[in-house]
Amino acid sequence: MNREEKHEVVSALQAKMQEFGNFYIADTSSLSVEKVNNIRRKCFESGIEMQVAKNTLIRKAIEGLEGDASEIFVALKGQSALLFSTTGNGPAKLIKALRKGSDKPQLKAAYIDSTVFIGDNQLDTLVSLKSREELIGDIIGLLQSPAKNVISALQSGGNTIAGIVKTLQEREG
């Protein structure tokens, strides 16, 4: 691979990292070709892109990211497979599901919304992460809850001033 080809690979990796915003680095070196192909198939079915690249090229691509993701560099040893996903926990769920079968990829690191997770012991944490949309939904639900309580209290009072006052007095006592 000449210098120009390496530059193209680094540029493509940077573009994917910026496009998806989330990526995982997994170790599949202990798996057979058949098992790696099975992982690729499962990734495709789950909407996750898998790409294998040299660690030096991954390092250069990460250096070009906004923010400091240099903590990931300690994980760039051995064979590395990149998993790109639009959801922060999609690849973690896939890795956990694969471990129930005969395919057992190891998690090296993850980069999710400019936060770095290092090591296979972070897998359970990553599986339980909520997406941005889920968090926004939770916040909206929490904000709506008091308003719903007031509306239901007003409606239970029979929509009259006396009923509303009586309901509010009962709630205080």
Q: What are phi and psi of 40, to 5 degrees?
A: -60, -40
User: Can you list the domains of the chain with their CATH numbers?
Assistant: 3-129 (3.30.70.1730), 133-172 (no CATH)
Res 162: pLDDT: 67
- Residue pair 27/81 in contact (Cβ under 8 Å)? The answer is yes
Res 155: pLDDT: 66
- Residue pair 109/148 in contact (Cβ under 8 Å)? The answer is no
Q: Is 127 exposed, middle or buried (0-12, 13-18, 19+ CB in 10 A)?
A: middle
Res 168: pLDDT: 73
Res 159: pLDDT: 59
Res 144: pLDDT: 77
Res 25: pLDDT: 92
Q: Which amino acid is it at 34?
A: E
Print pLDDT tens along the chain (173 aa).
788 888 899 999 988 988 888 899 998 888 888 888 888 999 999 899 999 889 899 999 888 777 777 788 888 888 889 999 888 888 999 988 888 877 788 899 998 877 888 988 888 888 888 777 788 888 888 887 777 776 666 666 555 666 667 777 777 65
Q: What are phi and psi of 161, to 5 degrees?
A: -60, -45
Spatial neighbors of 106 by CB under 8 A, at least 6 apart, are 26, 27, 30, 120
Prediction pTM value = 0.74
Res 44: pLDDT: 92
| Count of residues making up the chain | 173
Res 19: pLDDT: 87
Res 24: pLDDT: 92
